[in-house]
Amino acid sequence: MDRQQIDVMGVNFYPHLSVTRLEGGIDGPVRRRRAYGTGADLSAVLAAFATRYGKPVMVTETSDNASVARRARWMDDSIAGVEHARSAGVPVVGYTWFPVFTLADWRWRRGSLPADRYWCHMGLWDLADDGSLQRRETPLVGRFAGVIARRRPGAGHGPPEHARDVTQPDHRRIR
């Protein structure tokens, strides 16, 4: 059986989880400290993955487990990071805000508290904290829709020239 080739390398990047800095050294122990990531960090990671794998990259997951205001700042910063990477020649072919609405933390599986005590508000919509599962639109919905509208083909911001339509099968590789 032939090995399948990947067309796009997915990159998951969460600013509150994905960056670690080394501290200390010379006269003391080196410690790893989690740091809050920036759009510049995301841009560097996208460039590194594209270089390592020789493939276009896509932000397949990003968001922040935070207030709407901090999520909005991360949306702006992460999109700026993608734009910086593209302007530097990195073949970034997509960006996904994940999750779309609140999700339950993994601890919920074994926890004894009501499900809404384990919710991580990371999406464009938040679920109500009353157990009703009512979706509440946040300002992030309109903000993200605006980003998409400004970048749609015909609006002057189509996909990079080197991007292939990955929704269509690449029959050269299918046997």
CA–CA separation, 103 vs 115, rounded Å? 10
- Here the tokens at position 141 are 């919905």
More confident residue, 151 or 55: 55
Give the other-Cβ count within 10 Å of 122's Cβ.
Answer: 23
Q: Are strands 19-24 and 92-97 parallel, antiparallel or unpaired?
A: unpaired
pLDDT in tens, 70-83: 999 999 999 999 99
The vertex-151 CA angle with 150 and 156, nearest 5°, equals 90
pLDDT in tens, 90-135: 999 999 999 999 988 888 778 898 877 888 999 999 998 887 889 9
Looking at residue 174, its pLDDT comes to 39
- What is the pTM assigned to this prediction? 0.81
Element (H, E) at 126: strand 125-127
